Amino acid sequence: MKKVLIIGYMHSKYDKRVYRTVQALSKYAKVIYQYVVKEKESEYEEGNVRYVPIEKKSEPTKNILAKLQRRRKFDKQVVDLIKNTDFDVLYMHHFLPSKPIEPFEYAKSIGKRVVYDIHEYHPENFLLTLSGPVGRLKINVVRRLFERQIDLSDKLIFVSPEQMRYSLGERKKDVLVVPNYASIAVCSREKNKEIVFVGKVARALGDEEQAIKKLINEGFIFKIIGMESNVFSNIEHVYTGFLPYDEMMKEISKAAFSLVSFKTIEREDYKNDLWSLPHKFYDSIAAGTPVIVKQSFVSMSKIVEELGIGVVIEPKDVEGSVKKILDAYNNYDKLIENVERHKNKFVWDETKEKEFVEFVLG
């Protein structure tokens, strides 16, 4: 039985994407799984998985040097784990900022396979708040590191085809696209005149805000699931609070639409928004709810238009966006018919798991 060392890095134990890889691979291999914890915990084994928590205390500080020192200490612990573990496959869910190349080079030096699961386009995602000349310099530096990581990897996993093509350029690599599939599919006979906005991290609405206000005047309820922030203070809304996954899916399933249109940062060309296929997108369709997607979100809008499972809007065109949503609501039966026809494509299942496992271990 092969041994797979999964580096979750700063992801928590039950991060949806990361833990799915642990569950899938542990059915066919021995898994050593590293993840982050806020308080010290002991290693333990359960079934085919050895759980290795590494502590990183949450200590807010504005001291850059102190932050860097703590990150270096954490990264060293991860590298030490890699160098002191017997494995056949090193599965990286993120790179180590203070040691961005070392894990890849070490694994290759001892003849082991490296699988790199690229959740985001790292040159832009890493230190994403940097802007201006410093931000451009950061992107160039991280891009070179990112390309070296890709070159050292035997197999690469991406969240969308667009992210994959841009990251690879002219390189020929062994690749697999694995979006953030939903865990379950649900169905609700109850469909309320609601637009839900889902997520753990509060993201600003930007130009979408004016369209939402007009839709509220048309009788829609704007419901926020899982996040609350002052960025929504000037919009009339209902707030559910954070919900367990099954309850969240039931709540989404009762809504008429799910809004997947937002701004992570001020820049409109932020690639991790444009090429994203986030959990909320897949969860919404799996819950039987059509989506409202921003036109510039290339990966999502392409799927929505091809399958007819929602509405693609240009938020800057407020009147046009509102009209498209109201027209879709007036022809809702056709929209729901399309969602029900295609929803299983958005759910993780045995076929998708088998393809993933064979890609990693084969």
Query: Looking at 8-22, 43-57, 177-191, 215-229, which range is the least confident one?
Result: 215-229
Question: How many whole angstroms separate alpha carbon 306 and alpha carbon 322?
Answer: 21
Q: Which amino acid is located at 100 in the chain?
A: P
pLDDT above 90 (res 102): yes
Domain boundaries, the chain: 3-180+349-361, 192-346
333-337 contact pairs (CB < 8 A, 24+) = 334/308, 335/290, 335/308, 335/309, 335/310, 336/191, 336/288, 336/290
Stronger pLDDT, 81 or 231, i.e. the higher one: 81
Predicted pLDDT of residue 61: 62
Instruction: Specify the pLDDT at position 64.
Output: 62
CA dist 83 and 110 (Å) reads 10
Write the CA distances from 196 to 130, 222, 327, 337, integer angstroms.
31, 6, 18, 20
Topology agreement, domain 3-180+349-361 and domain 192-346 = yes
pTM: 0.89
| 137-176 confidence digits (pLDDT tens) | 878 888 899 999 999 999 999 998 888 998 898 999 999 9
How far apart are alpha carbons 31 and 87 in whole angstroms? 9
Architecture of the 3-180+349-361 domain:
3-Layer(aba) Sandwich (3.40)
Inter-residue contact 276 to 301 (CB < 8 Å): no
> Yes or no: is domain 192-346 CATH 3.40.50.2000?
yes
**pLDDT tens digits along 235-288:** 899 988 889 999 999 999 999 999 997 665 555 665 556 557 788 999 999 999
Q: How far apart are CA 278 and CA 180, in angstroms?
A: 6
pLDDT surpassing 90 at residue 340 = yes
Q: Determine the pLDDT at residue 136.
A: 78
The 10s digit of each residue's pLDDT in 188-202 is: 989 999 999 997 666
Give the residue with greater pLDDT, 287 vs 298: 287
Contact 305, 312 (CB under 8 A): yes
Beta bridge partner(s), residue 33: 6, 51
